[in-house]
Every structure is written in structure tokens, then in C-alpha cells.
Amino acid sequence: MEKFYTTTAIDYVNGAPHIGHAYEKILTDVLFRHFSKRADCAYMLTGTDEHGIKIQKTSASMNINPKEFCDMNAQKFIDSWKLLDINYSQFIRTTDEKHKKIVQKIFKKLLDKGDIYKHSYTGLYCSGCEAFLSEKDLDENGFCPVHKKKPEVVSEENYFFKLTKYKEAIIKHIKQNPDFIVPSFRANEVLNQLENIEDISVSRAKTNVSWGIDVLDDPTQVIYVWIDALSNYITAIGYDPDGSSDLFKKLWSADVQVIGKDILKFHSIYWIAILMALDLPLPKHILAHGWITIDEAKMSKSLGNVISPKSIMEAFNMTEPDALRYYMATAAPCGKDGNYSDNDFKEKVNAHLANSMGNLLNRTLSMLVKYFDGEIKQEFIKKSPLFDEALKTIKEVEHHFDYFEVAEAAQKITELVDKVNKYVTDAAPWSLAKEGKMIECGEVLYTVLELMCVISSLIYPYCPNIAGKMAKQLKYDINTKYDDIKLDNIKIGKLISKEEITPVFLRLDSELADKANKVK
């Protein structure tokens, strides 16, 4: 694979990051880290969306200017992703000067082309969505179905984008590319939305919204979210209507754009139409993930169940995010909703990361030290049928990632760990040693350690810190590309001493790992 370019949705900075934001970033980071082991060049983009009426009003209520407010809240997202080891290549902010200048050029190009026109309009505007809604978008009470508020009637003269011009081309693309929208069952949802699509407003009058990017040559208007926010995916990597950068030419189009299912319409219709109007290639895939509920209830400020990733880590005294990363990445099948609960979190990560995987490595290395002073001998080296099973698992994991089935890929890794644990139980190296069958005992330990090298590579995208600790004790290069993985990593000679053996993951209910019981 020559390159892999993935993006997340950019988060609106009117609020603080919560576990729903974290789910998307972890999911994308796992994809990015996996494909980094397969592609010559991998790149991940994330960032923040920083214009609009909500930020204008909130900052005014705090008596600070909008940019100061954005700086403060954007830092909260940056800090959260650092805490979760989100290894993005670039963090874009829509208040970046470079982004703003290119957005103005994009707007002008579409205006000059005739795809943007000025039009007087009266419509139903939801300030929560920062979008105009039609009557059919509202619930039976005439409310926005997301924010449960009645939209206000707004009359403005705005610039509009000719979305209807690209309707048939979008329908054709979706039908001819059944894997364009992931999961595929969401394609019909988009096709239904396309039936009654209308041209969309792409500017707001400054008299109503002043916090935005100015329209060139028209000081009465600011550029609205659809061109401002959506364009970040190309402005960040150097798109310019007057001549794009080498990085843009290398990376675009995106291999997968990861978004929440609630903004699928904007990415699979509005964004695609804008790209068509700019004569740019379309993203290969749009992955619409589900929502994360808390104890089976949808997150809501009114319910008081909005949880931040930082609060979970603090509640469980976690110094590294691997447990939370693993839990969130495996919380739901591809595109479906998932759930977070304290008890399930603790039970799942203890079972998978501590009891099955971590304990397997720890006890195997401990037996190697106990019986052989940590040394691998020539006579231990013997090919096991499990080696073929491990190589098969690599291909199965790659296959699931090709379809962005991150939770399903993790299940294959867990199954391999379970098979290795069963092999140890059946072979009982401790009994072999007791019986004086030292070569047979050494063969078992060598086999397990070879398999643990593969497991560390496969679990790395989910748990980079745990995988790194495993690899260090195994003297294995964790950066090995999947195509280069062989089952001859454990070398003859001294592998490890007793002092070098440390648990790679402590159970969350152990005295060392956890003092807290409940996320507040």
C-alpha cells in the first residue's frame, strides 16, 4: 500500500471533549496505526471547528472575544487526545490563517464557476445544528429532532451552493460504489435524503453571524460551515485552487473519512458535491460510526451522564490510556452503537488485557527464567502448527481492517490469545519440567514467546504502550510491517533476566492499578 490518509470529523469547540468525541478519535487512531504497518506513508488529520453563532454568543456571555474562547477550548481537545495517545499527523483549527485564506479561494472559485449564487431566503434555522431545516426534518411537534427545540424563522440574503446540480452524479456514485459508505446499510438512508435535496446556504449575513470567514469582495457576508468546516480535509494538506502542495498531491483522496452517523448527510452529500464542483477526486470511503451510550442511556447534559475520557482515567487511577483505548475501539461492531459502563469496562479489560494476554507473557517469561535462567537454547527451536495459525490471524485481522471492522479484528486477536493459552494449559510446561523433560518444556516456552511477538504487533494499534512493553521484554521490533512478520524473532541466547520481567498491564482492581470505584 503506497499511502493511507484518514480524517476524523473536526469537533465544535463550544463544549468540552467527552467520551463520544474520544470514541471517534480512538477508532481513527487504531485504523491509522494499523495501516501505518502496511502503507509506505500514513497520515491522520483531526482538529476543531471554530466559527459560528454558538461560539459568538457563548464567548460574548463570558466577556471574551471569540478567538480567545476558541483558543481555550481547542486546547482542551488537544490535551485530551494527548492523554489518549492519539497519534495524529496534524491538528487543524478552522481559525488557522492558512485555512481561512484557502476557504476564501474555494468560495470564490465556486462563485466564479456559477455553482454559488446569491439569493434571498426565509427558512427554519436551528441554532443548535447551525443549519436550516425543512418542515420534513422536524418531529411531530415541529421541533428539531436532535435539540428538541422549535427552529426560528430567519430571513436573509445569502449565497447558495447549487447542490441540486450534483444530485444525480452523487446518486450514481453511491450506487456504483457499494463500499463507498460504510456500513453499506446506511447508503439507502443517504439515497432517501437525496430525493428531496435542495440548494444549501453557504454564507450568513454579518448582521446575524459575525464570527466567521469573510466572503471576498462582499463584506456583508461570512462563509458558512459547509464550505468552511468541510474544506479542512483538503486545506490542511495543502490544497490551493491556484496550485496545490506536493503533500496534497500525494495524499488526496482520503482513504477513509471517519464521522458520526449524525453528520453522514453532510459528508456523503454536501461534501461530495463540493468536491465534484472543485473537480477533485472523491474519498474512497466514508465510515459512519454509531453513538456511545452511558449505561444504555444516550449522553445528555440534562441527565448529567456526559463523561470525559479524563474522568474515566482519573477514576481508575490509569497512568496510560491503553485499557480505555481497547475498550472503546471494541465497544461496537462496525457502524453500530456501543455502550460504556464502569463494570463492563473493568471486566473486559481485566479479562482480555490482564488475565489472558498480560498473564500469558508474564508467566511464560517467568518459567523461562525459573527453568533456564532466561535463556533460549538451540534445541528449543521447533516449528509449531500454531505458527501457521498466527500467520492466518494476521491475514484475518488485515481483512477486517480493509472493511474498517476494528472491533471484529480485535476479536480475532483475542481468539489467537485464547488458543495460545489453551496450548500452554494442554502442554503444561511446569509438568514437563517436573518430569525432567526440559527440551520439551523449552519448546513450549519458545513457541509461546514467538506467538507473543505476533500478538504484540497485532494489538499495537489498540494498546501501543502495552504492545511496546511486550516487545521490549521479547527483544522484538514493534515497528515490523505486517508483510515482514516471521516466526523467527526469538533468538538463541539470553533473552531476559528476572529483574526485566514486569507486568505489561495491571488489573484495574489491583492495589497498584485502581483505588476508585465509580466514575463521578
Indicate which residues carry an active-site annotation: 18, 21, 126, 129, 144, 147, 298, 301
- Is 457 exposed, middle or buried (CB count within 10 Å of its CB: 0-12, 13-18, 19+)? buried
Grid cell in block for residue 448: 509461546
The C-alpha atoms of residue 78 and residue 74 are separated, in whole angstroms, by: 6
Phi, psi of 330 (to 5 degrees): -110, 15
Written as nine digits, the cell of 367 is 518459567
Whether 417 and 357 have beta carbons less than 8 Å apart is answered as yes
Closest CA to 13 of 73, 67, 62, 64: 73
Angle at 398 between CA 394 and CA 401, to 5 degrees: 140
Q: How many Å apart are CA 440 and CA 128, to the nearest integer?
A: 67
CB 121 within 8 A of CB 167: no
Q: What values do phi and psi take at 398, rounded to 5?
A: -60, -40
d(CA 241, CA 52): 25
The CA distances from residue 490 to 123, 380, 418, 453, 475, in Å, are 68, 11, 21, 8, 8
- Site of grid cell 483531526: 46
3-state secondary structure of 502: coil
DSSP β-ladder status, 256-260 and 286-289 = parallel
Q: Residue 235: how many CB atoms within 10 A of its CB?
A: 23
Please check whether residue 213 is in contact with residue 103, taking contact to mean a CB–CB distance below 8 angstroms.
yes
Q: What is the distance between the alpha carbons of residues 509 and 492, in angstroms, rounded to a whole number?
A: 37
Q: Which residues does 33 contact at the CB level (< 8 Å), separation at least 6?
A: 87, 460, 461, 464
Strand 292-294 versus strand 116-126 pairing type: unpaired
Instruction: Cell numbers for 391, please give them.
Output: 500467520
Using alpha carbons only, what angle is made at residue 136 by residues 130 and 140, rounded to the nearest 5 degrees?
100
